[in-house]
């Protein structure tokens, strides 16, 4: 029976020097957590590669590939045949049978060889020529193209075995989740904030999410939409702690006590205050938003300055320099776009002023906010926040 294995090639982790093993360990834990529901696996690390070896015959290899390609830290994934480290095994019918799936529909190919074990008695050009000859005998419809082949067959000579593959895909790249601390994502029902969460998770940040709802002005379907977005990004970001804040009373108080043109800025400042208090309890070191410079009135430079003035911890905005089409492309790639465009309003859109201030003066904003005592409402909102955990690929856990 064929022994099939996954070779997960590192990206940035390979450049981490003395800290490399720490990043490796976190990535391996993330991989194990994702694959545990699919069956039993063996794991080992060598030469900037994580080897994932299925131990159960009934494991669905396509499911494994789907999980691995969403693990940050992995740059390339090679689905490979493990063979004895000899030319006889490399050139065997078993190897050619394994390559048939990739080569049957191709027109051109080339062979590459990588000799991590320099003691192997055959040089790379000899390996390429020998296997290339066997492939041409078995698949006479093929021709060699060393510049732009349809398929590249790779032979890797490693410490214990040789690995032959023609099926490899790009991994998620980035850094393993959990290597860059924790962050709190302000998750609305729009296109931008799920993308922002994904982008920060790609840089190793463990994501939690906070959402502000304002019933009856926002519906239960609006909340369910946001929860679905949390589930969708959890496929990339790992388990997500989700905090849902009741915000109705605060929004009504803003409307009744503050100048209309400053509604949105004051609302966002109060959201930031609530989010920071929950960050303190959850040991999160930053806030994350989906803001893009100039996209709406609350995302002008002046408005962002006024919002950040209310923050005691950093606010990261990974979408700040992207235009809408770039954000939409990422949303489509991570399968959040279709959910984001469902027609259920979030609380940010319910109380939008007709003529919002695009160049607010910080002193005027603070004066307007301080004209009413929001503190009791803020404290109550924090206490009444509902907490859930969205497990990666599993059911929601209510707390």
pLDDT category, 192, cuts 50, 70, 90? very high
Range among 164-168, 262-266, 330-334, 348-352 rated most confident:
330-334
In words, the CATH class of domain 182-398 is alpha beta
Residue 218 or 345, more confident: 218
The contacts of residue 245 (CB under 8 Å, 6+ apart) are 210, 211, 212, 213, 274, 278, 381, 382, 384, 385
DSSP SS3 for 242:
strand
Is the pLDDT score of 135 beyond 80?
yes
Is the pLDDT score of 395 beyond 60?
no
Is the pLDDT score of 2 beyond 70?
no
* pLDDT at residue 9, as a whole number: 94
Buried b (16+ CB within 10 A) or exposed e, 124-142: eeebbebbbebbeeebeeb
Query: What number is the average pLDDT over the span 368-396?
Result: 90
Lowest-pLDDT range of 120-129, 197-206, 355-364: 355-364
Among left, alpha and beta (phi > 0; psi -120 to 50; other), residue 385 is beta
- Give the integer Cα–Cα distance in Å for 276 and 272: 6
* pLDDT at residue 394, as a whole number: 61
Is the pLDDT score of 275 beyond 90?
yes
Are 4-170 and 182-398 the same fold in CATH? no
* pLDDT at residue 399, as a whole number: 45
Give residue limits of the domains in the chain. 4-170, 182-398
Q: What is the pLDDT of residues 206-250, one digit of tens each?
A: 999 999 999 988 889 999 999 999 999 999 999 999 999 999 999
Per cent of the chain over pLDDT 70 is: 95
Q: What is the CA radius of gyration of the chain?
A: 26
CATH topology of domain 4-170: VC0802-like (3.30.2130)
* pLDDT at residue 297, as a whole number: 76
* pLDDT at residue 349, as a whole number: 58
DSSP SS3 for 30:
helix
């Amino acid at each position: 029976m064929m022994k099939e294995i996954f070779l997960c090639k590192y990206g940035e982790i390979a450049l981490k020097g003395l800290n490399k093993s720490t990043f490796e360990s976190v990535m391996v834990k993330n991989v194990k957590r994702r694959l545990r529901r699919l069956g039993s696996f063996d794991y080992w690390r060598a030469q900037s590669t994580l080897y994932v070896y299925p131990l159960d015959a009934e494991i669905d290899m396509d499911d494994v590939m789907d999980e691995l390609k969403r693990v940050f830290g992995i740059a390339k994934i090679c689905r490979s045949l493990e063979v004895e480290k000899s030319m006889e095994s490399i050139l065997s019918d078993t190897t050619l049978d394994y390559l048939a799936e990739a080569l049957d529909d191709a027109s051109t190919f080339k062979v590459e060889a990588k000799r991590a074990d320099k003691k192997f008695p055959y040089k790379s050009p000899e390996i390429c020529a020998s296997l290339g000859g066997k492939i041409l005998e078995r698949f006479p419809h093929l021709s060699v193209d060393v510049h732009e082949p349809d398929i590249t067959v790779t032979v890797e000579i490693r410490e214990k075995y040789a690995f032959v593959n023609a099926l490899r895909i790009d991994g998620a790249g980035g850094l393993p989740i959990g290597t860059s601390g924790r962050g709190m994502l302000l998750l609305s029902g729009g296109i931008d904030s799920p993308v922002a969460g994904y982008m920060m998770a790609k840089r190793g940040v463990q994501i939690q999410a906070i959402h502000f709802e304002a019933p009856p002005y926002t519906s239960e379907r609006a909340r369910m939409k946001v929860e679905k977005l949390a589930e969708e990004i959890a496929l990339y970001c790992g388990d997500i702690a989700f905090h849902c804040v009741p915000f109705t009373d605060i929004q009504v108080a803003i409307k009744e006590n503050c100048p209309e043109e400053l509604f949105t800025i004051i609302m966002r400042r109060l959201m930031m205050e609530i989010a920071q208090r929950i960050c303190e309890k959850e040991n999160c070191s930053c806030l994350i938003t989906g803001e893009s410079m100039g996209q709406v009135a609350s995302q002008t430079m002046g408005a962002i300055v006024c919002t950040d003035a209310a923050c005691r911890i950093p606010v990261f905005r990974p979408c700040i320099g992207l235009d809408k089409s770039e954000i939409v492309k990422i949303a489509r790639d991570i399968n959040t776009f279709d959910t984001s465009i469902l027609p259920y309003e979030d609380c940010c859109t319910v109380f939008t002023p007709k003529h919002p201030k695009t160049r607010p003066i910080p002193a005027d904003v603070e004066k307007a906010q301080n004209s009413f005592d929001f503190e009791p409402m803020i404290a109550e909102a924090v206490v009444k926040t509902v907490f859930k955990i969205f497990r990666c690929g599993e059911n929601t856990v209510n707390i």
